Structure 1
């Protein structure tokens, strides 16, 4: 079958004439060809990646063109538009859903509109305010006696500062008074004299500030910390729970405070006698219906309120007297109170009274009777006694009174209840800082109390000095490493006690004024003398070292202030005059030790210039000469300009030279040779730059570094190999200077007379030989960056 026959049959298929077995189609071959060409052009334009994507999605039954059409039809314009109202055939759930969504969308739209309006209003308000201020400033500037416009251009003003004017102190009056107490206390320590109780000293000082709450906090701390000193090797944190003095003194403080309170409510005549005082207070408080529920009486007064308030004031004798007045049926209870006051435990009476409490008293309507039984017998430790304890002080006193001596577990539970269960939120500590501090301090949590005060600027100064005072008493629980946070928990400590990082607290406090009140700063750092940094160094020395190092690279005032002025060569070696650090000298550290430590730190930070001065103060002349040689090697070839590092090092080198003439200490020969050569090279370059070639060459010949002739090259090379790296570094510049001087002399000698005489010819020949020797030496040295320059200068002499 030929192609024509096939074409005819295909055309006949489109007309419905079926003359063969081929199926019916809707396109002719021409149409198929056109569709193929269109598909080919579209595929080539789409790209290989899109084709692969279509094949992949098509294998999963996804029609990508239709998917693209659906995605293009999506619109986000109606995201926050109200939902269409449901038709009549919509059910109730759909209707409520649409209404809820419409309400939410309306709230969002109103909120956006209000925010936009508020921002716009504030913007225009600020603009209007700034325009009014600028208008007022301009109008005020235009006011004057004449009608001429005032020139508003700001002219430069010359300000002359008095160099002798000291910076103002950063300490306020209160901080200065605290600092004076610290300085006086340290003076007694340094003189090894008896030291006062620093807490009591600060408490006396705080009473002069006129702040009642501050005075109460210091008096509380003074009362609670009147405990016997523990051995120095005992950890204050671990021994605190086992020492009953803290609980006893806390109770005593609350009892004295309450006695003062009720004394202010009754007549002055009763204030001195506890019996009459309590009786008068109970008579004032309980009258008429207020006695309902109180079961027993004594002398016409309710008995158990008399007993409770006697105990609350610490008047055990008065409580016994009231019980005896009530009759013989209370003799056992009176004996219990008397034994408890004497520190005696009568187990038989306590067991009998506990049984009586369990059978009768627990359900009594007399809240005071229940409270007294619980306080003395330790019953129902979780009872709050809200009808009796009206204040935090009352609640805390009841809890402390129920503790038995040595009850570490009960003491720990009480501490946990205040710092963890109640916490700052319960006490509203942000507004009532003194209440939360008192609660923590009375429960023996001094570290947490101090850290809480240190958070605010107003109380930080008091917190710092509380920490210092407790540290001097050996009561403060310190951290095991000074790199720990300000307040931390040690897993080996009793719960819930914390540890305070005294070093971090003091350094944060002192950093703000150590630049202006350096003397006071040193005294504060001295309180850290018994602590050590992670490297094992004395923390006092470390703090002073950081103070000096951070003061500035070229600021020598702080160095002179702390270490004093260095003396001239006429005085004994290592003599230092003045200096704040001199007052802290002791066998453990003195001024020279401190100067050496600071110098080591400066070396690690790259400040060799100040380190040289401090090494000289410390008597470490070897290190001083070594590091000044390193500095001289960097600037010796530079011209002498006043105020530069080279000028300062020149003066320093001259000073060391005078010291070396009558030195008493041994210096390493290699260090001494290096310093001597560099000192001579300074003078050589000074004369060379000043245009004195002959003097410069004489100084250079004295050093023996540069050859005169070819014969001297090996000797000079051997000398150079024995030198230190600092001197070898300068040799190439010395060669260039020597070659330049030789060329200058050669040109001068050659231009003096014509024709050249025999003597002059010999001198020219010597100069050429000298230049050749210098060039040969440079070529023989392992590394000489000026070799090419030397060859160029030598060629100019031929």
Structure 2
């Protein structure tokens, strides 16, 4: 109550605005915002990247507005004093920038409430509860040791480590923490005021979540009664139920649609909105605001309708907010303002963003679409789901021998379903460039385009130049169409008229410092430049000829150009043109004149020309220089020049973009599309893909599938023989063409690792696209990736298939890949055998019908376990059980006869020892006779001694254990003769003398065979014979 009185009543409390930083916003020229993490009462938290670190490490940034409640100051003071604690995040730095206060600290993982909502039944395991509790108590203890009390202990303020484990728990949010006062060396409690503050802030947090729906419903109430062209009076509509809110939203949509149709018919008509727009209240008038306060006060007493669940409330909020935004966007401004905004939007859509070197900063959009929220994973999931469907359909067509599905086209269709302009622009350019390259270049025998040939470099420059010029023509037409009254475009068609109209809009008055004459009130050098920029060389030549003798040298240069390619047919007159420009270089102030000379000759003046301040203009002039260079180098006899000629082959241009400028240089404008454009249109497809892989999950998904589509088209530079999972993602080597090579195997494997445990069959589809790659041991990467995927699965039968007890083959996912099945399973068997995974190896050998190797593996396993008793691991039982199953369905197939005989013999020995260990001596004695390896009397001794040398080594090594067990059974049989019943024993002996004779025959056999027996073995047999009394 004390706190409520101090801060006034809840309805009149000041609601502080929260900072809203876009993705890629840079704090203090160092900390780049990567994603939004969450909001508090007075500030927001973001995941930021340290651009000055080599590994681009992630940190947490807590931001608040300067004019908001100063909660960050207290938290900074506390973190400075507890910086050496294990359970509190470390403070890195803090400061002010523009209108925000910020604090950078180490980044933790999810909080306990988020984790609890994700686990089944919202219940932690007992062991995890104990571990979390211990860490939480230690965190609170560390804070108390510094004489601070937190004041807001709850699940949201405890976070685990970034890896998601419970090995450490961090205490967060010290905004309302208080310090104990030292008084006479005692800690004095500050009173109940702090307890009330903590409780009060918890109530505010709950109330703000409930107020969001009430706020939107009240705005919809006022807006629906105000958007009425005929009646400006507000209607009092009560939105007490969700159904009424939905009906009102539909009614509001119909009214706005009708009003929009009326305005399109008559641009002069306007709609009067009787809405009071306030920065804090929003679309609320005075009556609506008082109604909202009354409703808020009522909601403090009466709980909100229990029948309205969160999902339906979310739907209504989205519908009402969309209607509010639609009406505000369409009718809040004047018609001219809307047209001007549309023009700006059109320029951005046509790729008109600035390159490094200019001070103007383009508007930055989030690379992951809308601002991240609690459901930001939905967009990523939709992206991955759309791409997965495309890959699955594409692989299915390949497996069925069809080639009708265009993988790249389907990917573009999937991306267009997303609301992300970066992704759509990226894929449209991929589609365009790939189509142009495939239509102009032929694939080699290996199925790939030779990108190192001089013909490719020359034609690639021409293709990109033609594309950039056509894009600029469309841009000029859009600008002129939006400003027809200002453009004053005449009825005469042609490039000069379009350029003049464009210049009338771009520069109503001639720019200062222009040289020579004016044509249609515009500088002639500007007209010539924009004609060249649009690809109309003949129009530029005609304009230059109209200027008279002043431009005679330029006209002569135009005349020596090829009318088809616009390239010099020879370089004989280049010296004269260079000499003329060298004379005027120090005196001319016309930037467009310098730009025209950069287009005509090979020089290095373009870096100082302000006309090339946009990324597409910069690329256009660079590629023009590249085309001239490649044309010059392709001549049989290269011309010599007295003046400096700046050659710029395609490799040099790529090195300029990748090394001299680099990523940080182009990202000064915070738009990843700028750097991607420079890489893509300079022919560095692999570097562009690698760069986009680091720009958020959505663009990473796009980049992976761009790489797959280019590989399918034969346009990607990669190494089929040496790419592997552990290699670097991008291999860059100066002086090589292409400059970069992409490790497609690592790219795909790292991407599928996100979902291979949940959808192994889908991951297998991706791996099939890597079937032509091989590791250093010439193993198929499809087989390598399949083996890696198999090791991570609990149920391997789903992927491999299995042989049931009846011998019927049950199919698995691998059986769909008929051409790769045998080779892949054989590789898995070989790898599993080498790692000691005998069950998996045995299953694979049986699936590929390689029974010889399967039996050899079983023989080795049986030999290692048959003579030992069962242990806790159950290995002996498992081996014998599996061996008996295979023996039951064994046929004379691929296994060798000797191998089958040895397997049957050693399996019989194993079954004998199983019965022997269970002390079923009668059955064991009969089975020992079937084994037929040990003499049962003196007559058989010589035969078995001579046949022992022909036995396989593994059988010979089992003879000592067989003889020892036989002697033990004789001793047990001897004990039966001491019984009163005097019954006959299981060995068939009639007396003890018969048993002794059998024992003597065994000892004599052991001494005669050529086998190195264990030390003291004969003595042990003699000692046991003495027990036959």
Structure ranking higher in helix proportion? 1
Alpha-carbon deviations, 1:219-262, whole Å to 9, x = none?
22333333123313578453378532321232233334434444
Do 2:510 and 2:522's aligned partners in 1 also have CA atoms closer than 8 Å? no
Q: What's the offset of the Cα at 1:633?
A: 1.7
Looking at structure 1, the residues matched to 671 and 379 of structure 2 have their Cα atoms a distance apart, in angstroms, of 28
Do 2:595 and 2:609's aligned partners in 1 also have CA atoms closer than 8 Å? no
Instruction: Mark the CA change 1:333 to 1:716 in structure 2 (over 3 Å): closer, same or farther.
Output: same
Looking at structure 1, the residues matched to 150 and 947 of structure 2 have their Cα atoms a distance apart, in angstroms, of 77
Do 2:707 and 2:744's aligned partners in 1 also have CA atoms closer than 8 Å? yes
Between stretches 220-229 and 721-730, larger displacement belongs to 721-730
Counterpart of 2:217? none
Looking at structure 2, the residues matched to 602 and 437 of structure 1 have their Cα atoms a distance apart, in angstroms, of 43
Q: What's the offset of the Cα at 1:442?
A: 1.2
Do 1:687 and 1:693's aligned partners in 2 also have CA atoms closer than 8 Å? yes
Instruction: Mark the CA change 1:454 to 1:715 in structure 2 (over 3 Å): closer, same or farther.
Output: farther
| Residue in structure 1 matching 2:916, options 685, 688, 692 | 688
| Residue in structure 1 matching 2:751, options 500, 509, 514 | 509
Looking at structure 2, the residues matched to 755 and 124 of structure 1 have their Cα atoms a distance apart, in angstroms, of 85
Give the gaps of 5 or more residues in structure 2: 1-76, 89-141, 158-194, 200-376, 634-646
Counterpart of 2:901? 673
Larger radius of gyration: 1
3-state SS of paired residue (1:267): helix
Alpha-carbon deviations, 1:194-222, whole Å to 9, x = none?
35554444333323222111222222233
Q: What's the offset of the Cα at 1:423?
A: 1.2
2:421 is the counterpart of 1:421: no
Alpha-carbon deviations, 1:723-779, whole Å to 9, x = none?
33433443333333322322222211331446999x998433222222333344445
Do 2:408 and 2:431's aligned partners in 1 also have CA atoms closer than 8 Å? yes
Counterpart of 1:469? 709
Q: What's the offset of the Cα at 1:621?
A: 0.9
Looking at structure 2, the residues matched to 218 and 423 of structure 1 have their Cα atoms a distance apart, in angstroms, of 23
2:813 is the counterpart of 1:565: no
Do 2:561 and 2:568's aligned partners in 1 also have CA atoms closer than 8 Å? no
Counterpart of 1:364? 588
**Equivalence map 1:424-573=2 (5 Å):** 424-428=663-667, 431-458=670-697, 459-479=699-719, 481-482=722-723, 484-490=727-733, 493-494=736-737, 497-548=739-790, 550-551=791-792, 555=794, 557-558=795-796, 560-567=797-804
| Residue in structure 1 matching 2:877, options 629, 647, 650 | 647
| Residue in structure 2 matching 1:189, options 381, 398, 412 | 398
Looking at structure 2, the residues matched to 723 and 755 of structure 1 have their Cα atoms a distance apart, in angstroms, of 37
**Equivalence map 1:246-265=2 (5 Å):** 246-265=460-479
> Alignment length, in residue pairs?
642
| Residue in structure 2 matching 1:392, options 615, 619, 629 | 615
Looking at structure 1, the residues matched to 675 and 391 of structure 2 have their Cα atoms a distance apart, in angstroms, of 27
Looking at structure 2, the residues matched to 318 and 791 of structure 1 have their Cα atoms a distance apart, in angstroms, of 116
Alpha-carbon deviations, 1:674-720, whole Å to 9, x = none?
21112212332333344432222111101112220234344334444
Structure ranking higher in strand proportion? 2
3-state SS of paired residue (2:480): coil
| Residue in structure 2 matching 1:708, options 936, 949, 963 | 936
2:509 is the counterpart of 1:280: no
Looking at structure 1, the residues matched to 684 and 802 of structure 2 have their Cα atoms a distance apart, in angstroms, of 47
**Equivalence map 1:106-255=2 (5 Å):** 119=83, 124=143, 128=148, 133=153, 172-194=381-403, 198-225=407-434, 226-227=436-437, 228-233=441-446, 236-239=450-453, 242-255=456-469
Between stretches 413-422 and 114-123, larger displacement belongs to 114-123
Counterpart of 2:55? none
Per the normalisation by structure 2, the TM-score is 0.56
3-state SS of paired residue (1:531): coil
3-state SS of paired residue (1:750): coil
3-state SS of paired residue (1:428): helix
Looking at structure 1, the residues matched to 450 and 988 of structure 2 have their Cα atoms a distance apart, in angstroms, of 93
3-state SS of paired residue (2:901): helix
Looking at structure 2, the residues matched to 740 and 663 of structure 1 have their Cα atoms a distance apart, in angstroms, of 38
Looking at structure 2, the residues matched to 210 and 192 of structure 1 have their Cα atoms a distance apart, in angstroms, of 35
Counterpart of 1:4? none
Looking at structure 2, the residues matched to 118 and 622 of structure 1 have their Cα atoms a distance apart, in angstroms, of 68
Give the gaps of 5 or more residues in structure 1: 1-112, 144-167
Looking at structure 2, the residues matched to 215 and 190 of structure 1 have their Cα atoms a distance apart, in angstroms, of 29
3-state SS of paired residue (2:511): helix
Alpha-carbon deviations, 1:123-165, whole Å to 9, x = none?
647774568628999x99xx9xxxxxxxxxxxxxxxxxxxxxx
Looking at structure 2, the residues matched to 231 and 722 of structure 1 have their Cα atoms a distance apart, in angstroms, of 61
3-state SS of paired residue (1:509): helix
Instruction: Mark the CA change 1:253 to 1:503 in structure 2 (over 3 Å): closer, same or farther.
Output: same
Looking at structure 1, the residues matched to 536 and 570 of structure 2 have their Cα atoms a distance apart, in angstroms, of 20
Q: What's the offset of the Cα at 1:356?
A: 5.0
Looking at structure 2, the residues matched to 316 and 794 of structure 1 have their Cα atoms a distance apart, in angstroms, of 113
Instruction: Mark the CA change 1:294 to 1:490 in structure 2 (over 3 Å): closer, same or farther.
Output: closer
Looking at structure 2, the residues matched to 749 and 296 of structure 1 have their Cα atoms a distance apart, in angstroms, of 134
Instruction: Mark the CA change 1:170 to 1:585 in structure 2 (over 3 Å): closer, same or farther.
Output: farther
3-state SS of paired residue (1:463): helix
3-state SS of paired residue (1:499): strand
3-state SS of paired residue (2:418): coil
Q: What's the offset of the Cα at 1:289?
A: 5.4
Q: Which has the higher contact order (CA 8 A, sep 6+)?
A: 1
Alpha-carbon deviations, 1:176-211, whole Å to 9, x = none?
322222232223333333355544443333232221
Q: What's the offset of the Cα at 1:434?
A: 2.3
Instruction: Mark the CA change 1:667 to 1:251 in structure 2 (over 3 Å): closer, same or farther.
Output: same
3-state SS of paired residue (1:710): coil
Do 1:293 and 1:366's aligned partners in 2 also have CA atoms closer than 8 Å? yes
Between stretches 287-296 and 181-190, larger displacement belongs to 287-296
Do 2:451 and 2:457's aligned partners in 1 also have CA atoms closer than 8 Å? no
Looking at structure 2, the residues matched to 231 and 135 of structure 1 have their Cα atoms a distance apart, in angstroms, of 62
Looking at structure 2, the residues matched to 454 and 532 of structure 1 have their Cα atoms a distance apart, in angstroms, of 23
Between stretches 530-539 and 712-721, larger displacement belongs to 712-721
2:845 is the counterpart of 1:615: yes
Alpha-carbon deviations, 1:445-477, whole Å to 9, x = none?
222222223345534323322222222222222
